[in-house]
Amino acid sequence: MKLFKGKAMKAALMTAALAVTPTVAFADANLASDDYVGISFWLISMALVASTAFFFIETQRVEGKWKTSLTVSGLVTLVAAVHYFYMRDVWVATGDTPTVYRYIDWLITVPLLMIEFYLILRAIANVSSGIFWRLTIGTLIMLIGGYAGEVGYMNVWLGFVIGMAGWFYILYEIFAGEAGKLSAEQAPDSVKSAFATMRWIVTIGWAIYPLGYFYGYLATGDPASAAASLNVIYNLADVLNKIAFGVIIWNVAVTETEAKA
């Protein structure tokens, strides 16, 4: 019996290559044993690599219509892993990590996470592409507002308010909009419960980022010490919002595949 077919093997090998590729941008910088922010960058970048390999290989195990969902989960962790390699090097070398790396990562990974809602609904029902477009537009409003506020293209409060509006629009769509109704009416139990957990992640897990923005820019405090704790908080948030989110999708894909077998 073959453990996995050629393509999954290739994907796994590519991920492994990524994990061992030296990415040190600043060769003279070493991770200090008491640099907890740096250690969290290291831990999470490796967790992201391992998750990528896992999701890609597991596409071989699930029924055809679930494969894309798992591939997208793997792409989310792959894109984030590469950004983490880079961010951790910058952190170790400079004790800081520019916000722009986070936003570039979010600009790619957040729309991919939104596509997951669309994909799991498409696996069980006939869905309109309107769901996909509304979630994408909500994401763009959220990120463009936040970025413009953070880098000073607009007032920080205004950027925050626009970002929050985009996020609330997403929440509306997945709780009360077409996507929410479809999952309540047409989904089998396993999909319903996965959908419910995914949307709580988008509510609670995602709330961590605007809280970070709030403490970093709007609450008064010491920005330098805020930067260190913010990075740890964002790093932990990504474990929930990228890895755990993918695991929930993996679980429903496997459950639904086995229910048919």
Ligand X SMILES: *C/C=C(C)/C=C/C=C(C)/C=C/C1=C(C)CCCC1(C)C
From the CB of 145, what's the least distance to ligand X, in Å?
6
* CB nearer ligand X, residue 26 or residue 157: 157
Taking the C-alpha atoms of residue 140 and residue 23, their distance in angstroms, rounded to an integer, is: 30
Q: Give the SS3 label for residue 111.
A: helix
- By CB under 6 A, residue 163 contacts ligand X: yes
95, 177, 210, 216: which one binds ligand X (CB under 6 A): 210
Whether residue 58 contacts residue 257, with contact meaning beta carbons closer than 8 Å, is answered with no
Only one of the segments 25-33, 41-49, 103-111, 216-224 lies at the binding site for ligand X (rule: CB under 6 A); that segment is: 103-111
From the CB of 204, what's the least distance to ligand X, in Å?
11
Whether residue 130 contacts residue 178, with contact meaning beta carbons closer than 8 Å, is answered with yes
Tokens standing for 11? 């994907």
* CB nearer ligand X, residue 88 or residue 242: 242
With vertex at residue 41, the alpha carbon angle to CA 39 and CA 43, rounded to the nearest 5 degrees, is: 70
- By CB under 6 A, residue 167 contacts ligand X: yes
Element (H, E) at 70: helix 64-94
Looking at this protein, which amino acid is placed at residue 220?
A: T
164, 226, 232, 244: which one binds ligand X (CB under 6 A): 164
- By CB under 6 A, residue 124 contacts ligand X: no
Looking at this protein, which amino acid is placed at residue 89?
A: D
Q: By the criterion CB under 6 A, which residues form the site for ligand X?
A: 106, 109-110, 113, 142-143, 145-146, 160, 163-164, 167, 206, 209-210, 213, 238, 241-242
